[in-house]
C-alpha cells in the first residue's frame, strides 16, 4: 500500500517548457503555471515564462549556474517531494519535453515512491521543435524516413561509453544528438570510423528558438573543427543527415527582419509588453526597461477639477485626448460617476493619433477627429480650420504636460478646461531584471515613446551610474519626444515618420534590418 502524503492536496506537475520560445509552452502547461504555488525550474527554461506564475509563487532555480552551488538530482527529487508533501501545487518546469533526456522519469519515480500525486505535461522537445527553428525538418519523404535521438553525454558514472557507434553509423535516417557538445570531435571521429558517410551534412544549433539562436553547418568531417574555431558552445543540438540541406530553403526564423537585435523598450510597465511582443515577433531580443508608472492625480485641487469636469461632461463641445492613458483615466472615472454613457452629451471627440483613438473606441465612443500628423501642432491646424471660437473644450491630460495646446486653443477663442487626470512617476525597482541586463549587456537600440520615459531613463542611468554605450541607437516616436530628448542631451538616432507604435516599429526595422551584428558582450552566459 502507498504511504499517505501529509496533505491530500499536494500535487506536482512535471511540465515541458518547450525549447525556449515562450510561445511554445502548451496551453495546459500555461494554465497550471498560472495557478502554481511553487515553481522549480531549470537552466534551459526561458525565465520569461516565470512571469506567467503568480507574483506570490515561490520560484526556485535548480539549474546550473557558473560558480554557484548546483543541486544534485537527488536533492532536486527531495525538494519536489518535500514541496508536494507540504500540500502545495508544485510546477516542475523543465526545458523541452520532461521525458526526453530531462530526468523527468526519475523525478516522477521519486514522487510515486513517496506516495504523492503527480501529472506529466509533455512539451515540445528541442530535438524536433528547436531544429524546426533552424529550418531543419527531422524527417523528409525524399531523404530521411527515420529518426534517432541520442545523447552524447552519458551518465558520468559509467566507465565506458555505451554509445553504439556502429549502430548509429549504419542506421538510416536523421540522427539528433542532445548534449555532448564538448565531445563532438570524438563522436564525429567514431562515427566516421564506424563507416558513416564523410559528406553527411551536419548542423549545430544553439539556444534554438530564442533570439540568441545560432546555427553552424558543415559535414561529418568539418563540423568539429568549425565548432572549435567559432567557439560554438552548449546548449546546442547536433543533427546529422540530408535534411540539414533543406535549411538553405527553409530558414524562416533567422531571416526575420530584427533577428538577434537587442532592443530595450522604455515604457510604462502596462504598455511595454505590447511593443515588446511586436518586436519579438519580428525576431528581436526585446526586453523591458520600466521607467515610469501611471497613477491617478493626487493633488486635491486636481482631483476636484477632474470631478467637476466629469460632472459637467455634457457641457463640452469637444473633448480632446492626447494619450491613451488620458483616455483610460477619463473613462474609468467617468463610469464611476455616471451610469449612463449619454452623460457625455453631444461632445465631439478628438484624438491626437490612432493609438489614442483606438483606446477611445474600446470605451465604445466614436472619434470625430484625428489630425494627419499625430502631434499637437497638427491638431491645432485642424481646429483652426474648423473654427473653435466660443466652443467649450476639455483637455484631459497628464499632470505637468505641455500647456501649449490649451494656450493656442484659447488664442483661437475657445474656452478651455485643461485638466490633469493622471500622473507619471519614475520607477526605481527592477523586478523583471531589465535594468540589470541593460547594465551588463547594453542594447542595440532603446525606444522612447514619450518625453517622460526619456526623462526617467536618464534619471535612472545617472542615479545608478549605468553607462549608455556609444553604439546604442536611441529611437524616438516623434518630434515632441525628440525635443525633450535633445534638451536632456540625448543623441537621437532615429525618429519615426509616423508617430505611433506601428510607425516606430517600421522605423526600427528600416534602421536595424541591415545593420551589422554588434559585439554581444556577456551574451554567452547570461543566465
42 catalytically annotated: yes
What is the per-residue binding string for ligand SAH in 84-103, x denoting contact by CB under 6 A?
Answer: -----------xxx--xxx-
Q: From CA 11, how far away is CA 129, in angstroms rounded?
A: 28
Residue 97: CB minimum distance to ligand SAH, A:
4
Q: Grid coordinates representing 447?
A: 525606444
Buried b (16+ CB within 10 A) or exposed e, 128-138: bbbbbbbbbbb
281 catalytically annotated: no
Of 251 and 459, which CB lies nearer to ligand SAH in the complex structure?
251
Of 43 and 412, which CB lies nearer to ligand SAH in the complex structure?
43
Binding to ligand SAH by residue 388, rule CB under 6 A?
no
Of 12 and 376, which CB lies nearer to ligand SAH in the complex structure?
12
Q: From CA 60, how far away is CA 83, in angstroms rounded?
A: 11
Residue 41: CB minimum distance to ligand SAH, A:
13
Binding to ligand SAH by residue 62, rule CB under 6 A?
no
Q: Grid coordinates representing 459?
A: 534619471
Of 188 and 427, which CB lies nearer to ligand SAH in the complex structure?
188
Q: Grid coordinates representing 427?
A: 520607477
Binding to ligand SAH by residue 452, rule CB under 6 A?
no
Residue 55: CB minimum distance to ligand SAH, A:
27
Residue 209: CB minimum distance to ligand SAH, A:
6
Q: Is 56 exposed, middle or buried (0-12, 13-18, 19+ CB in 10 A)?
A: exposed
Q: Which of 57, 91, 187, 205 binds ligand SAH (CB under 6 A)?
A: 205
Q: Which of 208, 319, 379, 405 binds ligand SAH (CB under 6 A)?
A: 208
In sequence order, the 6+-apart residues with CB closer than 8 A to the CB of 433 are none
Q: Are 164 and 179 in contact (CB under 8 A)?
A: no
Of 236 and 264, which CB lies nearer to ligand SAH in the complex structure?
236
3-state helix, strand, coil in the chain (%, to 5): 40, 20, 40
Q: Which of 126, 356, 424, 476 binds ligand SAH (CB under 6 A)?
A: 126
Q: Residue count at the site for ligand SAH (CB under 6 A)?
A: 24
Which listed residue (31, 35, 64, 225) is catalytic?
64
Q: Are 31 and 49 in contact (CB under 8 A)?
A: no
List the one residue out of 435, 135, 446, 432 whose CA is nearest residue 284: 446
Q: Which of 10, 29, 235, 290 binds ligand SAH (CB under 6 A)?
A: 235
Q: What is the crossing angle of helices 479-487 and 451-463, to 10°?
A: 30
In sequence order, the 6+-apart residues with CB closer than 8 A to the CB of 519 are none
417 catalytically annotated: no
Q: Grid coordinates representing 234?
A: 552548449
Of 126 and 449, which CB lies nearer to ligand SAH in the complex structure?
126
Which residues are designated catalytic?
Answer: 42, 64, 179
Instruction: Using CB under 6 A, list all residues that contact ligand SAH.
Output: 19-20, 44, 95-97, 100-102, 125-127, 130, 178-179, 205-209, 234-237
Amino acid at each position: 500500500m502507498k504511504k499517505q502524503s501529509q496533505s491530500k492536496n499536494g500535487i506536482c506537475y512535471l511540465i515541458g517548457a518547450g525549447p525556449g520560445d515562450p510561445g511554445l509552452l502548451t496551453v495546459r502547461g500555461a494554465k497550471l503555471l498560472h495557478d502554481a504555488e511553487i515553481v522549480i525550474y531549470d537552466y534551459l527554461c526561458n525565465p520569461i515564462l516565470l512571469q506567467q506564475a503568480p507574483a506570490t509563487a515561490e520560484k526556485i532555480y535548480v539549474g546550473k549556474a557558473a560558480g554557484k552551488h548546483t543541486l544534485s538530482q537527488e536533492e532536486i527529487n527531495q525538494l519536489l517531494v518535500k514541496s508536494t508533501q507540504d500540500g502545495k501545487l508544485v510546477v516542475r518546469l523543465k526545458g523541452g519535453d520532461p521525458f526526453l533526456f530531462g530526468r523527468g522519469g526519475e523525478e516522477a519515480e521519486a514522487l510515486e515512491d513517496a506516495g504523492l500525486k503527480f501529472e506529466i505535461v509533455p512539451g515540445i522537445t528541442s530535438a524536433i521543435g528547436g531544429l524546426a527553428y533552424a529550418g531543419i525538418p527531422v524527417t523528409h519523404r525524399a531523404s530521411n524516413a527515420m529518426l534517432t535521438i541520442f545523447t552524447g553525454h552519458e551518465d558520468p558514472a559509467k566507465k565506458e561509453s555505451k554509445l553504439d557507434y556502429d549502430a548509429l553509423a549504419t542506421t538510416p535516417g536523421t540522427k539528433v544528438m542532445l548534449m555532448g557538445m564538448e565531445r563532438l570531435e570524438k563522436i564525429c571521429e567514431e562515427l566516421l570510423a564506424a563507416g558513416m558517410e564523410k559528406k553527411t551534412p551536419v548542423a549545430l544549433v544553439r539556444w534554438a528558438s530564442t533570439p540568441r539562436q545560432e546555427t553552424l553547418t558543415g559535414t561529418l568531417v568539418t563540423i568539429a573543427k568549425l565548432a572549435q574555431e567559432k567557439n560554438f558552445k552548449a546548449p546546442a543540438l547536433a543533427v546529422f543527415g540530408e535534411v540539414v540541406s533543406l535549411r538553405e530553403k527553409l530558414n524562416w526564423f533567422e531571416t526575420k527582419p530584427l533577428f538577434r537585435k537587442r532592443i530595450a523598450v522604455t515604457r510604462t510597465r502596462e504598455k511595454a509588453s505590447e511593443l515588446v511582443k511586436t518586436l519579438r515577433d519580428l525576431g528581436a531580443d526585446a526586453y523591458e526597461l520600466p521607467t515610469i508608472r501611471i497613477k491617478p492625480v493626487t493633488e486635491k485641487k486636481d482631483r476636484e477639477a477632474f470631478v467637476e469636469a466629469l460632472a459637467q461632461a455634457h457641457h463640452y463641445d469637444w473633448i480632446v485626448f492626447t494619450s491613451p492613458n488620458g483616455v483610460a483615466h477619463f473613462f474609468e472615472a467617468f463610469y464611476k460617476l455616471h451610469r449612463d454613457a449619454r452623460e457625455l452629451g453631444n461632445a465631439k471627440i478628438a484624438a491626437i493619433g490612432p493609438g489614442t483613438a483606438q483606446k477611445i473606441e474600446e470605451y465604445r465612443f466614436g472619434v470625430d477627429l484625428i489630425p494627419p500628423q499625430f502631434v499637437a501642432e497638427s491638431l491645432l491646424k485642424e481646429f483652426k480650420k474648423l473654427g473653435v471660437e466660443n466652443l467649450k473644450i476639455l483637455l484631459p491630460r497628464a499632470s505637468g504636460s505641455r500647456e501649449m495646446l490649451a494656450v493656442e486653443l484659447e488664442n483661437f477663442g475657445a474656452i478651455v478646461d485643461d485638466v490633469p487626470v493622471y500622473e507619471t512617476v519614475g520607477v526605481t525597482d527592477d523586478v523583471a531584471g531589465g535594468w540589470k541586463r541593460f547594465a551588463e549587456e547594453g542594447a542595440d537600440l532603446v525606444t522612447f515613446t514619450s518625453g517622460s520615459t526619456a526623462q526617467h531613463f536618464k534619471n535612472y542611468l545617472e542615479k545608478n551610474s549605468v553607462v549608455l554605450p556609444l553604439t546604442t541607437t536611441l529611437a524616438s516616436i516623434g518630434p515632441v519626444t525628440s525635443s525633450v530628448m535633445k534638451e536632456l542631451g540625448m543623441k537621437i538616432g532615429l525618429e519615426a515618420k509616423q508617430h505611433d507604435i506601428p510607425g516606430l516599429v517600421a522605423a526600427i526595422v528600416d534602421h536595424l534590418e541591415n545593420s551589422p551584428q554588434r559585439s554581444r558582450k556577456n551574451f554567452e552566459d547570461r543566465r
